[in-house]
Copies of this chain bind each other. A is one copy, B any other.
Amino acid sequence: MSKTSKKKEPVILVTNDDGINAPGIRALVEAVKGLGKVVVVAPDKPQSGMGHAITIGQLLRLQKSNAFEGVEAYSCSGTPVDCVKIAVDKILHRKPDICVSGINHGANHSINVIYSGTMSAALEASIESIPSIGFSLLDLSIDADFSAAGKYASIIVQKLLSSKTLDKHLCLNVNIPAVEEKLIKGIKICRQAYAKYEEEFDERKDPHGKKYYWLTGEFVNFDKGKDTDVWALKNNYVSVVPVQFDLTNYKLKQQLETKWKF
């Protein structure tokens, strides 16, 4: 390529799990708008905790949206993973150069990566050979301050777009602490902490006397490592965990090959 030839603008697919009207996706669109051609395909309603669900038994709808000024956008009746799939096949008619998901209202560190619709959308993109990043802010509230999160999202997307030797399956789980920007100490590459929820279902009775349950639980960190996302966030770092869709437990595979004779 000659020095004067204009580099083609990268196509950036934006999605989330809180729905197309959530403030978090607005912040993400603002953060990446200047970095390429942005197209939004996001759920038409909140889809938190949907994990890697896909819609098999029901039809899907797509609707053009004016939620973002000057940005092509669509809402989809399906899950976050459906959004990525349908965006590639029916809207972009090609793979985008990168897919970003979020900014999620609430943490997706440690085991949350597995329940999170935000991260499942990013992981789906990486399965489809589209480098991807999921962003989450450690603040669940609807009026959370996304300014620092937006800045870090922009920095990390730029880093990814300028990387020459990019793994096409690269997928990053980025969490941003809910503190003022000046208190954030920097960005840390981490591993997923072994931390989980200790479930406790809240048992109630409906007006007809029939029992029903709400899923609740306490978050417990069993992992004392200083190389984890939970540690980084507690110490005011932005945590970046590279994630993968090969779930094979290779260590256990080796053990079983030796020990289990059938």
Contact = CB atoms under 8 A, between A and B. Distances in A.
Interface string A45-60: 0101111111111011
A82 B248 contact: no
Contact of A248 (B167, B191, B204): B191
A262 B186 contact: yes
Number of identical monomers bound together in the oligomeric complex:
2
B211 A62 contact: yes
Contacts of A159: 260, 262
Instruction: Give the interface residue-count category, chain A.
Output: 35 or more
A131 to B, nearest CB: 11
Interface string A206-241: 000011111100000000000000000000000011
A256 interface: yes
Contact of A54 (B49, B90, B196, B203): B49
B212 A59 contact: yes
Contacts of A86: 199, 201, 213, 215
A117 to B, nearest CB: 8
A242 B246 contact: no
Given A192-B248, A196-B127, A55 B215 contact: yes
The 9 A-B pairs with the shortest beta carbon distances in the complex, nearest first, are A51-B52, A242-B252, A244-B249, A51-B51, A242-B249, A187-B262, A243-B247, A60-B213, A191-B248
